[in-house]
Structure 1
Amino acid sequence: MTIPNRHPKKWWHDPFSVVQTNLREIDAGMDVEAVADWVKDHGASAWLCGVGGIQTHYPTKLTFQSTNPYLAERASRDLVGDAIAAAHARGLKFLARMDFSKIAPDVAAEHPEWCYLSPEGRLQEHTAGLVSVCPSGDYYQERIFDILEEVTSRYKIDGMFFNWATMNEEDYFKVYHGWLAFAGEGTPLPKGPESSSYGQWLVFSRQIIDDITARIRSFISQKLPDAALIRGKTADIIYQESNNEIGREFWPHSTSEWVSSWIAYRPDVPVLANSTCFIDMRYRMAGEEPAQFAQYFIQCLSRGGTPSTYMMGTPGKIPYPCLPIARGITQFHTKWRDVYRNFIPCAITGLVRPDRGHMGSKEYTESLSEFRGIYTALQEKHIPFDIIAMDHLSGIPANGSLDRYRNLILPNLGRLPREAVTVFDSWVKRVNGALIATGSISCDPESGLIDLQSLPVRKRLADVPEGRNIWSSYVAHAQKRGVHYYEGPIIPLVGAAYEYDWKDHPVTEYQVLPHAPFAPPEKAYGNLQTDQPGVGVLDHGLHGSSGKGVVIAFTVGRGYYETGLTCCRDLFVSVFERIAVKESLVFDIAEQIAVTVHRTSPSTVVVHLVNMSGVRKVNFGAHVQLPGGSIRINGAHDGIFAKALRADQKLRVEDGVISLPTLDLFEVIVIEGLPSKNKGL
């Protein structure tokens, strides 16, 4: 792999870390000198602080902005100017937080055309009468540039973050409002995420936000060329918030997944993982569980992200119990900033994440379950991988980020956009890759003909969705002992299964044991194996082409995610390991350890080991120490050096095997002297 030239051009191209103080009105009198000292001691190199939008923390001259009335407590009447001076005096970057999602009630009354309007003609009102605005309206499209002109002309800021720059589908009370109109006449409005038109609306709303973000970025780069825009796809720094929420399904790998999806797409653009100190927006004084908070930071670091601590108000006024552990990890990141410089992901396996914008609600939910099951299987078996986001796919051919992968996994993605079919098929031929598709495969809805030519199937013949027709169905290796004698493992079909017309000469296995009665027990028999394969592999090299296409004709990942049966996991992994291009690093460690790999130079690899043993139903609790194990380097040679950064010790390397120390919360292993052309590195 060729390492791109990533010499820093701007300050944000070098490793940095952040503390965000989300200001309340009553914080107007804060001691900015003391807070800047606190930020510095925390280990951060940048301070993200409220400036304007909903309310300004400086004396604005714009009549449609509301000034914090508590600014009268300050001698300068200017919290922003004081904070910038304190930050810069300590070598900290100052990042301005702006929120243009709402306006004051008097401004809304004067300019109703700026406001969100529901299909029933109602405004979306919030605390103290604040009213939501519509990103398509003139406030977002025009007036915020007046605000930016005022801020950038008055202050030398180092970056700017835009909070809640989205279409406000729901309010603070989780009430869904919908939208008055979008995408032209005749398009049905979504009543919620379950609606058939929701995906189309989501794509539309993303484009609105991407367009305004690009305009803002252009404006800031002209006014303050050394300042970064922190936001979405077209920004200088990608923003991602790590948080938990009461009632939301807990996904323990959330931060790792989202940071990876951006870093894998554009490794030269920082991803700021803003970790929330409180448990929920509705309970902003209830501190997050420290073990959960630690995972936000560790997963961020392990994927090459930028760690950020996000708290309410002035440090010290709210007792957040998670701050000490955040401080330790932030200081670790700062201490080893040279290790995190030129940090390029180098896994050769990509797991494709589904996109709600191109799927119905039910299809997306099922695909997400498949994705998470395969994610968990790869993590537990220590197969390094990155996340390839479907919503980034349109930009992938231009930046070439897909070409470093040798294995791609499509988890029950269903019908793909035409451009995605072209991207995946051409990738197989171009890099001699292995394309692995599970469950529902993209096909013409009328004829059933398969869109992806790289796969070993021609046509979908039938599908068996979730329900009574798939219950008590299985796949297994060919049975040899006769009727009603079974040899394991017997893998249940959970979710959905598909029957395909297979191309000539694929290697097939795991025949289906179709549905049979399952109750009462006197009648619970009859699963007689058929010739229908559960798995098929086509080696294109045998037919004058290149690469391999693999189909697992049922939702094996969903089976693992929803049952926890390791036979589902092990089936997927066994298929993967037989056909995939192999990594050069082989891990012999506990399955509760998550692994990521990155390069910092042609001969240096950084391995993060994350202890996931504390995972619980809704968050992380206390972890247990895990045995260290080892890393074997295939094709290793003399001169390999390895060091554990947290343990601060040189590691023993013998015959290409690195002996690892006992793992506490996490460890970072730096391996030097590797052959630069090792496969997988």
Structure 2
Amino acid sequence: MDFTTSARKHGRIVCLIPLFLLFLVSAFPPAGAQNFEPVRASSEDQWPSDLPWWKRNNLRVMQCNLPAYEATLNVDSLLEDLVRFSVNTLIINGGGIMAFYPTDLDFQYTNPFMQKEMLDQVVQKCHALNIRVVTRFDFSRFHRSIFDEHPDWAYISPSGERIINDDMYMAAINGPYVQEKSVEIIRELITKYPVDGIFINMPGYHTSNAYEGTYHGIDQNEFDRKRFYQFSGGDNLPVEENPEDPVFQKYQEFKKFTSDDWMKKIHTAVKSINPDIAICTYQEKYVDIIRHESQTNSLPYWPYMSFDNVTNTVHSQPDHIVSNASIQQISFRSRYNAIEPEETAIRLYENLAAGSGLDMSLMGDFRQYEDERNFETWEKIYAFHRKFEPYYGKYHSLAEICVISPSYWPGGVSGQEYRGIQLMLKEAHLQYDIINYAEIYNRRQELSNYKVIIIPQIPEVSEQSAKVLADLCGSGANLIATNQSFSKNPALLSALFGVKPVKTENNADGYYLEPKDKLFFRRFGSQRLLFCKFNLGFYDMSGCDERYLPILTPGRPGPPEKIGGHEPSGFHAVGLKKNGRGMAATVPFNLGRLYYIHGYEQHKNILLDLIDHVFPGSNDLVQTNTHPRIEVVLQEFTENLASKTEIEEKDGLILHLINLTGFSGNTYFTPLPVFDTPFKIRCSVKPEVVYSLVNKQKMPFDWDDGYLTLKVPTLDQYEALVIKY
């Protein structure tokens, strides 16, 4: 197949074909032209009664965050809009900050605009249309009237400040309001109304006023003091967030324990009343649906955020359902201004490609909405998922590369390193999964399936995780650790990677890297020096079997007449050590961050050459020359049907193509159409048919010796090719 023509549209040649040839063509259709009808979604009454509804993994969520005054909404118009947008799950205000229903609890403030029948009507009328209702709770704050009675329930900073938004006070997580009253509020609502789930917004600890962007510090509430004193065996609460402080490290453990303990209380209460009520929030323990969010709260913009969020959570917590919300607003201070429709589409399609459903979060309901530009996008994509639901939500990974994530909500320098590594893989169309670093031990079996495991700037892992990585490498996995990864595990660095840190932190400005070995660095035929920036570690690599990329000293900065003087430093930027059947590679500089911030392909090419060296078949799964901004996600699927809830037999492959060519770095424009894109895909089973869900037509293909070849004539915004076994 010609891999040189995807960037242009072929001219059309029109010719006259004799009738007998037309007969032959119709009598003997090309490969892939057999009759095929997409599978229909299972109806509500077909699903097994003992299967929790959320386990279907077919969510199409709309979250209507109602301002107080919108409690007067017209329920019938809300239902009309939910049907228009093909929604099957509604998240709507319930209680906590304020009750949107008649509450009998004196410690829950009632919305002054509350309509007594509103929530009841929403639940009844949604259920009549097979739409689930999840009520939203927020226990992060309570009203001034409650604060006046119970000031000891509220957050207090080290300097004695409260966090206040208008007349709402930040709650202390270890105070009675969160620990006891929240459970009573939930119990009251789910007893009054037959809701299908509860969603808890903003759980956990807070040091800032997120709505105003102001930092206040660690909560010094007396209930927190006493509980931490007991937990730590006599320590006082830290007043500064210092990662090097042993007391703060203990406090981090305390936060995790107490947050999980609170969710356990809620889980026990809810499931004792109705085990079919789903619990949804941003934590992992004692929940049924893990919520995540795609936001625009940091620069550079990260166009792969939905894929990142879903993949990170799905593979780290495979026993949970993940729902990743596309946040409609630009920021907390710009709630009535929506993101661009092109960005919304990317987020929603990435949700589907990564194995989740659809989820949108907006302010208010849909009538008299301040920014309706996304409505058409929602209507189109939600209807598409409703129609082709069986091809989504039940995926099996084919990836041979895994990226270890530093967090479920990565940020800062480590987040940039992590995202930069992903960006390199995405643009090279290499398939990869993501697993959180804290789950290495728990996911050790899944990790054994990967040929390459990349650890981007994760300074420390547990002893259990370190042993898992060593065992995996010995069994054939190849490890790539960037920047300061394992700098707090020196024994692991020495034994597994063959390196000893001399200086893990060093300003890289002015240093050069020299890709001398052209057999290793095959992408650097015309380049002799690569600039470096941010952090560059100096490591003793005498224990390595191979060393590459010599580091040259900064030399003389100045006018052109004076520059030069770059000399070998004696250190290298890539070291590899053989361990059994695998290799462990150290790359002790900000490789990912350099690419994420500056975007020079030379830094991406370092990683790609390194992957080629340790895993020569890295690009064998999917081969294409399509544009780097075409996101390619290949999954194996089982049809997501009621009749197959206990069946793991694979029904085929699905190739997702998401067109990001309209993303400029700052702006999301309409993507450019891409024509005649060739693909060669490893496919051990000869397919019966290849079918485009977008164009609703069969596609010609060839299959030979375990590989499928095809050409996508036109890619606009999205394509999904079902490759049916």
TM over 0.5: yes
2:657 pairs, out of 609, 627, 630, with: 609
Q: Report what 2:698 is aligned to.
A: 650
State yes or no: 1:148 paired with 2:196. no
Letter in 2 for 1:390: Y
2:630 aligns with 593
Displacement after TM superposition at 1:203 (Å): 4.8
Counterpart in 1 of 2:113? 70
Give the counterpart of 1:536 among 571, 575, 586.
575
For the structure 1 residues 579 and 319, does the alpha-carbon distance in structure 2 shift closer, same or farther, using more than 3 Å as the test?
same
- 1:649 Cα deviation after fit: 2.2
| 1:78 CA displacement | 2.4
Task: Please name the residue that 1:214 is paired with.
Answer: 264
Q: Is the 8 A contact 2:438 2:461 kept in 1?
A: no
Matched AA of 1:327: E
Equivalent position SS for 2:421: helix
Residue 374 (1) aligns with residue 421 (2): yes
Of 501, 512, 532, the residue aligned with 1:460 is 501
Give the partner amino acid of 1:348: E
**1:187-239 Cα distance to aligned partner (Å, 9 max, x none):** 53226999998776555434322221232123212211111101120210011
- 3-state SS, counterpart of residue 279 of structure 1: coil
Distance in 2 of aligned mates of 1:83 and 1:428: 55
Residues 456 and 482, structure 2, Cα contact 8 Å, conserved in 1: yes
Query: Distance in 1 between the 2:236 and 2:536 partners?
Result: 36
Question: Quick one: distance in 2 between partners of 1:143 and 1:551?
Answer: 51
| Secondary structure in structure 2 of the residue aligned to 1:161 | strand
Counterpart of 2:325 in 1: which secondary structure? Answer: strand
Partner of 1:250: 301
Aligned amino acid, residue 521 of structure 1 = P
Measured in 2, the distance between the counterparts of 1:356 and 1:668 equals 27
Per-residue Cα deviation, 1:249-290 (whole angstroms, up to 9, x for no partner): 522222221111101112342211122222222122222221
**TM-score normalised to the size of structure 2?**
0.82
Q: CA deviation at 1:464?
A: 5.7
| Aligned residue type for 1:41 | R
Kept in 1, the 8 Å contact 2:141–2:169? The answer is yes
The change in CA–CA distance for 1:319 and 1:337 in structure 2 (over 3 A counts) is: same
Q: From the superposition, tell whether residues 554 and 28 of structure 1 become closer, same or farther in structure 2 (CA, over 3 Å).
A: closer
* Counterpart Cα distance in 2 of 1:650 and 1:270: 32
Correspondence for 1:59 among 80, 84, 102: 102
The question of whether the paired residues in 2 share the 8 Å contact of 1:409 and 1:437 is answered with yes
Q: Residue 25 of structure 2 corresponds to which residue in structure 1?
A: none
* Partners of 1:437 and 1:402 in 2: CA distance: 16
User: Residue 24 of structure 1 corresponds to which residue in structure 2?
Assistant: 67
Secondary structure at 1:537 match in 2:
strand
Quick one: which amino acid aligns to residue 679 of structure 2? Answer: I
Contact 1:491 1:567 (C-alpha < 8 Å) held by counterparts: yes
Does the CA contact (< 8 Å) of 2:541 and 2:547 recur in 1? no
Change (3 A) 1:206 1:565: same
| Alpha-carbon contact 1:476-1:513 (below 8 Å) kept | no
Query: Could you tell me the percent identity over the aligned residues?
Result: 22
Moved more, 609-618 or 200-209: 200-209
Does the C-alpha gap of structure 1 residues 84 and 179 become closer, same or farther in structure 2, counting only changes over 3 Å?
Answer: same
Q: Is the 8 A contact 1:298 1:666 kept in 2?
A: yes
Size of the aligned set, in residue pairs, is 640
**SS of alignment partner, residue 660 of structure 1:** strand
Give deviations 1:375-424, integer Å, cap 9, x for gaps: 11100000011222224446435xx4433322110113234343332232
Cα pair distance change 1:671/1:621, threshold 3 Å: same
Secondary structure of the 1:109 match is: helix
Match of 2:720 among 668, 674, 677: 668
Q: Is 1:434–2:449 an aligned residue pair?
A: no
Question: Would the aligned equivalents of 1:473 and 1:516 in 2 still touch at CA under 8 Å?
Answer: no
Task: Measure the CA separation in 2 of the matches of 1:464 and 1:150.
Answer: 54
Cα distance in 2 for residues equivalent to 1:192 and 1:328: 48
Q: CA deviation at 1:97?
A: 0.8
Give me the whole-angstrom Cα distance separating, in 2, the residues matched to 1:194 and 1:78: 54
> Are 2:172 and 2:219, in contact at CA under 8 Å, matched by a contact in 1?
no
Cα distance between partner residues in 2 of 1:155 and 1:345: 39
Match of 1:679 in 2: none
Q: 1:459, CA displacement in angstroms?
A: 1.6
TM-score (norm 1): 0.87
Q: Look up the match of 1:82.
A: 121
Deviation of 1:347 (Å) = 1.4
Structure 1 residue aligned with 2:522: none
Write the letter of the residue equivalent to 2:609. S
Amino acid in structure 2 at the alignment position of 1:16: L
Residue 160 of structure 1: aligned partner? 198
After superposition, residues 92-171 of structure 1 pair within 5 angstroms as: 92-127=131-166, 129-171=167-209
Task: Give SS of 1:496's match.
Answer: coil
Tell me the C-alpha RMSD between the 2 structures.
Answer: 2.9
Letter in 2 for 1:612: L
Aligned to 1:677: none
In the alignment, the residues of structure 1 paired with residue 408 and residue 679 of structure 2 have an alpha-carbon distance, to the nearest angstrom, of 38
1:514-529 counterparts in 2 under 5 A? 514-529=553-568
Q: 1:107 to 1:504 in 2, by over 3 A?
A: closer
1:576 aligns with 2:617: no
- Write out per-residue CA displacement over residues 623-642 of structure 1, whole angstroms, 9 at most, x where no aligned residue: 21123412212475644532
**How far apart in 1 are the matches of 2:469 and 2:702?**
40
CA distance in 1, matches of 2:219, 2:60: 40
Instruction: Write the deviation string for residues 75-116 of structure 1: whole angstroms up to 9, x where unpaired.
Output: xx2211111011011111111111111111121111122111
Q: 1:638 to 1:268 in 2, by over 3 A?
A: same
SS in 1 for 2:208: coil
What displacement does 1:160 show?
0.6
**How far, CA to CA, are the matches of 1:452 and 1:422 in structure 2?**
13
Q: Distance between the aligned counterparts of 2:715 and 2:723, measured in 1?
A: 17
Instruction: Please show how residues 42-53 of structure 1 align to structure 2 within 5 Å.
Output: 42-53=85-96
| Cα contact 2:416–2:593 (8 A) shared by 1 | yes
- Change beyond 3 A, Cα 1:260–1:219: same
User: Greater RCO between the two (CA within 8 Å, min separation 6)?
Assistant: 2
**Post-superposition shift, 1:241?**
1.9
- Counterparts in 2 of 1:619 and 1:267: CA distance versus 1, 3 Å: farther
Matches within 5 A, 1:136-535: 136-171=174-209, 172-181=211-220, 183-184=228-229, 185-186=235-236, 188-190=238-240, 201-231=251-281, 232-234=283-285, 235-245=287-297, 249-320=300-371, 321-355=373-407, 365-393=412-440, 395-397=442-444, 400-430=445-475, 432-443=476-487, 449-451=491-493, 453-455=495-497, 457-463=498-504, 465-467=506-508, 470-478=509-517, 488-502=527-541, 506-529=545-568, 532-535=571-574
Counterpart of 1:518, as a letter, is P
Task: Output the amino acid matched with 1:652.
Answer: P
1:11 paired residue number? 53
* Contact 1:590 1:627 survives alignment (8 Å): no
The 1:464/1:133 distance shift into structure 2, 3 A limit, reads closer
SS at match of 2:307: helix
